[in-house]
Amino acid sequence: MSVEKNTRSIEAGIETDFRDKMSYGGYLALDELLSAQHPVSAPEHHDELLFIIQHQTSELWLKLVLHELRMVRSSLQRDDLRMAMKGVARIKHIQRSLTEQWSVLATLTPTEYAQFRGDLGSSSGFQSYQYRAVEFLLGNKNAGMIKVFAADPVAQELLGGLLAETSIYDEFIRLLARRGFAVPVDLLSRDVSQAHVFSPGLVQVYREVYEDTGAHWDLYEACEELVDLEDNFQLWRFRHMKTVMRTIGMKTGTGGSSGVGFLQRALELTFFPELLAVRTEIGAAQ
Ligand code: HEM
Ligand SMILES: N[C@@H](CC(=O)c1ccccc1NC=O)C(=O)O
């Protein structure tokens, strides 16, 4: 270490020859990753790289969210609530990071975006199959959403598969039934390819959990974790809608929707409605 030169010396043990050894770039396939940004504006607009990287990093995180959600689902199937909650905890951190990331894109002004928006053609986040897969795994099934992937067999297969499978909410509800709670039977034999719809009987199950937390501590904790997950998902949707509003105003979307109005309607969707409804009941007379 040469303090005067403000330079750190490279230690003798530091690896420098990677002809026959695994390296950082090799392990992480950085050549592929860092050559996957292809701006379409010509001449290239300075801000298009921001736009591409914001989406690519979001898709990478969504890939991990999907990976963790599958683990959460299989843990619930095995009655391993602790493992499931470990997965949920990780997902919650990813969601925070994804939501925080909107501030980077918000530095893209409407003037700058308008200069390359036309080059995006009809491509849109509406066509993100990983985002749709997350919605499906959380229980917001919608077969109609698969239509836009007619030209993408990989996406179609993934989403078609998830549509027919249980969501993490279906699995949580089944776990509650195995624990002896009076879960309405129609919920246990429902067509899982449809979106979960509000069940008043399930609210009563949660009421039992929330009114005797000591007896049902792990379930009580799990319920609150699921509420956090939904809350975080809605915060992402809200920041998306607000960023869209400040960037394109009330223009229609490149994907063909009305734009902001369409995104606002997504804020009315809910994954775990009974977990929210139970709050109204707590402490109320029987
Ligand atoms: C300036 C930036 C952005 C604008 C102006 C914008 C605009 C829009 C609009 C107008 C829609 C409605 C569909 C349409 O007609 O196109 C939409 C949908 C969507 N966008 Fe973006 N978006 C932006 C950035 C992002 C980013 C960074 C992501 C991250 C992956 C994203 C993901 C999505 C998703 C998943 C949908 C579907 C939402 C749903 O079905 O409720 N968007 N976006
Ligand atoms: N729908 C956006 C375009 C857009 O944001 C976008 C375009 C291509 C790939 C991802 C996108 N992000 C989110 O919709 C718009 O109407 O400006």
68-94 residue pLDDT tens? 999 999 999 999 999 999 999 999 999
Q: How confident is the model at residue 2 (pLDDT cuts 50, 70, 90)?
A: confident
pLDDT tens digit sequence for 163-183: 999 999 999 999 999 999 999
Taking the CB of residue 207, how many other CB atoms lie within 10 A of it?
A: 17
The Å distance, Cα 273 to ligand 1 centre, comes to 24
Please choose from 66, 117, 124, 134 the residue to mutate so as to test ligand 1's pocket, defined by most ligand atoms within 8 A of CB.
124
CB contact at 8 A, 39 and 49 = yes
pLDDT tens digit sequence for 16-64: 999 999 999 999 999 999 999 999 999 999 999 999 999 999 999 999 9
Bin 48: left if φ > 0, else alpha if -120 < ψ < 50, else beta.
alpha
- Separation of alpha carbons 14 and 4, rounded Å: 23
Which one-letter amino acid corresponds to residue 39? P
First to last CA, the chain: 73
Q: What is the pTM of this model?
A: 0.97
| Ligand 2 pocket, residue 255 CB under 6 Å | yes
Q: Span 200-210, mean pLDDT?
A: 98
Please choose from 48, 62, 123, 252 the residue to mutate so as to test ligand 2's pocket, defined by most ligand atoms within 8 A of CB.
123
Tokens of 29: 């396939």
Q: Is 176 helix (H, G, I), strand (E, B) or coil?
A: helix
Q: Is 117 annotated as a binding residue?
A: yes
- Separation of alpha carbons 60 and 28, rounded Å: 13
- Separation of alpha carbons 226 and 108, rounded Å: 33
Longest Cα pair distance anywhere in the chain, in angstroms?
Answer: 77
The Å distance, Cα 124 to ligand 2 centre, comes to 4
CB contact at 8 A, 192 and 167 = yes
Residue whose pair of structure tokens reads 């199959």 in the numeric block: 129
Using CA positions, which residue lies closest to atom 12 of ligand 2? 125
Instruction: Kindly tell me if the per-residue pLDDT of 285 is higher than 80.
Output: no
Q: Is 113 annotated as a binding residue?
A: yes
Q: How confident is the model at residue 1 (pLDDT cuts 50, 70, 90)?
A: low
Using CA positions, which residue lies closest to atom 9 of ligand 2? 124
- Separation of alpha carbons 68 and 81, rounded Å: 14
